[in-house]
């Protein structure tokens, strides 16, 4: 009887080892750092390969990812069709997340030659709060001892925000801020804050170089964009 018991014990231990190895492999296949990145309401889901994939280059050709999303509070997940069998490490969910005050989740899993990882879910994503606003587009032309600054907001996705057709400035309650520096003095000052897209800076000293930058500002929440590229002009 003893040999038989030893044999059964060996099978039991072997099966446990196999289960542990399978679970370990599945765990190592799970995508890493699954998260949304949002700029100007362009909402992109990003992730990184599982640990097994980063340590073995032979995996790369056989790896595919599937993406699903849902609105917070809804039970069922929805497949993102053109990201259901992708080898990329990102998926554009801008259209699917275009109600910018809603809460969303995304999730990703990996398929390696028929072996599926578990789904990895993002944190709750609310575009209104999470999107980052780019700097305004700015053009500077010289007048008579003055500079004319033309401003334009960053581009929104063509289908978002779906719930309102107002301009980005009005919907998001954004203001333009314009700053100027006399390069001889090296001191910057804010010369404008408001909603106008055309700003004239007058009474500038001739034969001096002035540099202008701008940003978008949301006073309600104290949020601001990055600054625009600096434009420098020598007043004639």
Q: Where in the chain is the domain with CATH 2.60.40.10?
A: 26-129, 133-234
Tell me phi and psi for residue 172, to 5 degrees: -95, 0
What pLDDT is attached to residue 15? 40
What pLDDT is attached to residue 26? 53
Say yes or no to pLDDT of 75 above 50. Answer: yes
- Parallel, antiparallel, or unpaired for β 42-48 and 90-92? antiparallel
Residue 181, both tokens: 């520096």
What pLDDT is attached to residue 27? 67
Fold for domain 26-129? Immunoglobulin-like (2.60.40)
The pLDDT tens digits for 121-177 are 999 999 988 989 899 999 999 999 999 999 998 877 765 454 555 566 776 788 999
Average pLDDT of span 190-200 = 96
User: Which one has a higher pLDDT value, 18 or 35?
Assistant: 35
Say yes or no to pLDDT of 92 above 80. Answer: yes
Q: How confident is the model at residue 20 (pLDDT cuts 50, 70, 90)?
A: very low
pTM: 0.74
CATH number of 133-234: 2.60.40.10
Residues 43, 168: Cα–Cα separation, whole Å: 16
Q: How confident is the model at residue 28 (pLDDT cuts 50, 70, 90)?
A: confident
Q: Which residues of 187-204 are buried (b: 16+ CB within 10 A; e: fewer)?
A: eeeebbeeeeeebebeeb
């Amino acid at each position: 009887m003893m040999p038989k018991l030893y044999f059964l014990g060996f099978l039991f231990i072997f099966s446990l080892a196999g289960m542990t190895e399978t679970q370990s492999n599945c765990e190592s296949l799970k995508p890493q750092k699954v998260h949304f990145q949002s700029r100007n309401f362009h909402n992109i889901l990003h992730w990184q390969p599982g640990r097994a994939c980063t340590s073995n280059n032979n995996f790369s050709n056989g790896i595919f990812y599937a993406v699903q999303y849902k609105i917070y509070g809804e039970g069922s997940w929805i497949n993102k069709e053109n990201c259901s069998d992708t080898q990329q490490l990102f998926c554009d969910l801008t259209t699917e997340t275009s109600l910018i005050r809603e809460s969303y989740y995304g999730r990703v899993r990996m398929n390696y030659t028929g072996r599926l990882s578990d789904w990895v879910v993002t944190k709750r994503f609310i575009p209104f709060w999470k999107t980052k606003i780019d700097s305004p587009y700015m053009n500077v032309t010289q007048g008579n001892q003055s500079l004319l600054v033309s401003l334009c907001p960053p581009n929104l996705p063509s289908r978002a925000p779906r719930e309102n057709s107002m301009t980005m400035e009005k919907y998001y309650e954004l203001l333009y801020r314009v700053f100027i520096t006399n390069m001889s003095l090296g001191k910057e000052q804010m010369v404008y804050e408001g909603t106008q897209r055309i700003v004239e800076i007058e009474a500038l000293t001739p034969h001096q170089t002035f540099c202008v930058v701008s940003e978008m500002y949301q006073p309600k929440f104290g949020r601001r964009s990055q600054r625009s590229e600096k434009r420098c002009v020598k007043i004639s």
